[in-house]
Amino acid sequence: MVAHYMSDKQFKLIYETAAQNLAAWKRSGVVKTLKCYSAEDDDVCETCRQHDGNIVKIEEAVIGVYIPKFDNCSSNQCRCYFRPWDISIE
């Protein structure tokens, strides 16, 4: 299977959106944790493979450190992502 990568412009927009989502989820008080996901194929680097499935508390979530795109990812256009895992209105 060959990984299909996006253009640099698309990649930049996706990660700008991810940063905006993270900020909104933190402000909401509803999202408690985030889960990391990799593309789960042979093109995923070892760094991303190690973080796949990790659950991070929202207050500790920092892009590049605990959630993708990780600073030491060897991919030019990382396809990993994060999304809310534990959500509560309490």
Is the residue at 6 inside a domain?
no
Is the residue at 39 inside a domain?
yes
pLDDT in tens, 71-86: 877 776 778 889 999 9
- How many C-beta atoms lie closer than 10 Å to residue 78's C-beta? 21
| Number of domains into which the chain is organized | 1
Cα-Cα-Cα-Cα dihedral sign, residues 3, 6, 8, 14? negative
Is the residue at 11 inside a domain?
no
- Per the structure, the complete domain to which residue 83 belongs is given by 32-90
Is the residue at 16 inside a domain?
no
Is the residue at 19 inside a domain?
no
What is this structure's pTM?
0.82
As a whole number of angstroms, the longest Cα–Cα distance in the chain is 44
| Phi, psi (rounded to 5 degrees) for 51 | -90, -15
Is the residue at 43 inside a domain?
yes
Is the residue at 18 inside a domain?
no
Instruction: Identify the band that residue 1 occupies on the pLDDT scale cut at 50, 70 and 90.
Output: very low
